[in-house]
Amino acid sequence: MKYFSFSSALIFLGMNLSLLRNGFAQSSATASFHYGIYLANSENSLPIIGTQSVRGFAGFAVGYAHACWNHIALGIDAGYSASTVDRIQQFVESSPNGPFDFTYFYAHMSFKQFFGDFNIRYSVNERPVVGGGPSLAIVHRTVYTDPINVQNATTIQLEDMLASSGIGLNGLIQARFPFGGSRFAVITGAKFRYIHSIWFDKGERDLSNYSQSFLSGNLFAGTSYDF
């Protein structure tokens, strides 16, 4: 009788674990494009950017969500986003031919993020997925000029890049629209991410009074494949 009771308990536990696992949609891989804005970006306070700001960005991401427990999945997304701010500074290039023989050239800024989002996702009966978790990011902020004419008919282009690494948090909401009985589906949703830089490749720079933090929100759309 004890053996029967123990076996029954194991069968009951196994059936319930199976139900728990199947409570969330199947594990899936995703690929998507996104467009968003920086709700806050510390680089916008730099004197060199003047009256302009780093605002819109676009990029792409790939991800994987592993179904685990009742309505719960563990997800990871890795991606890239970039934005450019043109003509943040204007310079005058003079000529030895006279005071009225001069040209203009400009400085621009590019801002790139390579990110990894880890999150716990919750969904009930194929309803929209919500989730959140920690994020990691590598940030490249580059200031560069137009090509500048110098002597001997040659040109140079000045460039300064600051690389940094940061940590933060992310949150998402995602809807899924299957293709009939296919394993493929269209996904769409929104994601928010906050990053605070904790390490800088500063070189010879003095960054003792400098910090970086970014809050962004974006919409995304793409496709998923269930396993």
User: For the segment 127-168, what is each residue's pLDDT rounded down to a tens digit?
Assistant: 789 999 999 999 999 999 998 877 666 788 899 999 999 999
SS3 content of the chain, % helix, strand, coil (to 5): 15, 65, 25
Per-residue pLDDT tens over the stretch 182-202: 899 999 999 999 999 999 998
Residues 6+ apart with CB under 8 A from 36: 56, 57, 58, 81, 191, 216, 217, 218, 219
Q: Where are the domains of the chain?
A: 2-226
Per-residue pLDDT tens over the stretch 12-32: 444 443 433 344 557 999 999
Nearest C-alpha neighbor of 78 from the set 213, 225, 193, 201: 193
Q: Which pTM does this prediction carry?
A: 0.83
Say if residue 6's pLDDT is above 50: no
Cα–Cα distance between 218 and 176 in angstroms, integer? Answer: 17
Say if residue 95's pLDDT is above 80: no
The third-level CATH classification (topology) of the domain covering 2-226 is Porin (2.40.160)
